[in-house]
């Protein structure tokens, strides 16, 4: 469908319509014709359609997709095209901009977008031991796995299971959703990067002796990324820390003294959201560092964060729109964090330059 996507996009009106119809209605008609054709040929097929224009910039516009989707599903059921077809309805990511992103719900949705499966009526697949399982057994397993930790790798393994009629055994992370997934599965086992993992407790972080080195490191890190573009991009500084959380202990850090071993600290992850100057842009990052006990620093009471241990373990996530601020470096790797010098007040340009 990608060639069709490109042609349609060029002639779309207002970003939503193609020839006086919603973009998605064209794709649904195309898909319906395709399903009919492959049924006549008695041939397997896989179709991937991406159509997110209608709700990409306006969350509430998703309501306009209800009618076309309902009509499409009713036509599939009326022609019994659903009997031997798996239909997956999903989002590639959650909301990335606006106030909702700064809520706990927005945090979860941005990392765990929805995915719905409409399973075929007729299914018969083998399990790991080569035993055949009927539709009722497979549905029960699938329903169980909706309460388990899963990832996109599992969707790939599931499609292979349907294609080969037996679960794949050569996937590093993927696990068919028609096979039971362990309850104690970790993000690492599922192939989920740290920045998208929502497992494990995080507590609110307020201690300035920990926040200060973390926020300072973030600003230095961002300015380091901007260094090759310093002629065009203004230097960033911290405006305020918007949100900070700290994970539980990941692993103790050991040190050896006089032949013995003692605990020198604990590794932690830190979720940080800060606002920058001069852009007033909000940025999220996940960092890792070592908390040292107070006795390791006589001038400190309580645990303190070792600045030399801090590292970034995620990508940079910008939470607000930036296209007007970074036109001078459009389509570059720093587009999301650059604030063009041309936007600075004359006095600020002279001082910064």
Tell me the domain boundaries of the chain. 136-193, 202-352
Radius of gyration of the chain (CA): 26
Place 274 in a pLDDT band, splitting at 50, 70 and 90.
very high
Let me know: does 286 contact 194? Beta carbons within 8 Å. Answer: yes
Residues shown for the chain: 353
Backbone angles phi, psi at 60, to 5 degrees: -70, -15
Both tokens assigned to 2: 């990608």
Q: Running DSSP on this structure, what letter comes out for residue 13?
A: B
pLDDT confidence of residue 260: 46
Measured CA to CA, the distance from residue 264 to residue 295 in angstroms comes to 10
Instruction: For residue 63, give every residue at least 6 positions away whose Cβ sits within 8 Å of its Cβ, in sequence order, or none.
Output: none
Both tokens assigned to 47: 């179709």
For residues 62-74, average pLDDT: 92
For residues 285-291, average pLDDT: 94
Instruction: Tell me the pTM.
Output: 0.78
Is the model more confident about 340 or about 347?
340
Backbone angles phi, psi at 264, to 5 degrees: -100, 0
Measured CA to CA, the distance from residue 192 to residue 148 in angstroms comes to 13
Q: Is 168 left (phi over 0), alpha (psi -120 to 50) or beta?
A: beta
CA angle 115, 116, 121 (to 5 degrees): 150
DSSP alpha helix (H) spans, 79-198: 104-111, 135-145, 152-164, 187-190
Is the model more confident about 299 or about 13?
13
For residues 251-266, average pLDDT: 60
């Amino acid at each position: 469908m990608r060639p069709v996507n490109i042609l349609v996009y060029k002639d779309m009106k207002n970003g939503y319509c193609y020839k006086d119809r919603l973009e998605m209605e064209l794709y649904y008609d195309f898909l319906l014709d395709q399903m009919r054709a492959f049924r006549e040929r008695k041939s397997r097929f896989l179709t991937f359609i991406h159509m997110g224009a209608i709700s990409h910039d306006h969350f509430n516009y998703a309501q306009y997709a209800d009618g076309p989707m309902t009509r499409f599903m009713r036509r599939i059921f009326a022609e019994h095209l659903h009997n031997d077809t798996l239909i997956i309805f999903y989002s590639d990511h959650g909301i990335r901009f606006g106030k909702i992103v700064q809520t706990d719900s927005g945090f979860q949705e941005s990392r765990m977008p929805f995915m719905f499966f409409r399973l075929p009526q007729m299914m018969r697949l083998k399990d790991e031991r080569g035993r055949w399982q009927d539709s009722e057994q497979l549905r029960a397993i699938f329903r169980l796995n909706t309460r388990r930790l899963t990832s996109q790798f599992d969707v790939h393994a599931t499609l292979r299971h349907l294609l080969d009629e037996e679960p794949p055994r050569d996937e590093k992370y993927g696990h068919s959703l028609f096979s039971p997934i362990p309850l104690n599965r970790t993000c690492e086992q599922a192939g989920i990067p740290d920045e998208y993992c929502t497992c494990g407790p995080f507590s609110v972080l307020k201690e300035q002796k920990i926040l200060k080195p973390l926020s300072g490191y973030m600003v230095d890190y961002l300015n380091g990324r901007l260094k090759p573009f310093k002629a065009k991009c203004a230097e960033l500084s911290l405006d305020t820390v918007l949100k900070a959380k700290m994970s539980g202990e990941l692993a103790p850090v050991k040190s050896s003294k006089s032949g013995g071993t003692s605990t020198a600290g604990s590794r932690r992850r830190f979720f940080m959201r800060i606002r920058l100057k001069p852009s007033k842009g909000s940025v999220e990052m996940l960092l890792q560092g070592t908390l040292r006990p107070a006795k390791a620093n006589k001038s400190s009471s309580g645990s303190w964060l070792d600045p030399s241990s801090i590292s970034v373990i995620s990508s940079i996530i910008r939470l607000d729109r930036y296209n007007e601020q970074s036109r001078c470096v459009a389509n570059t790797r720093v587009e999301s964090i650059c604030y063009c010098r041309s936007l600075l007040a004359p006095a600020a340009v002279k001082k910064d330059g």
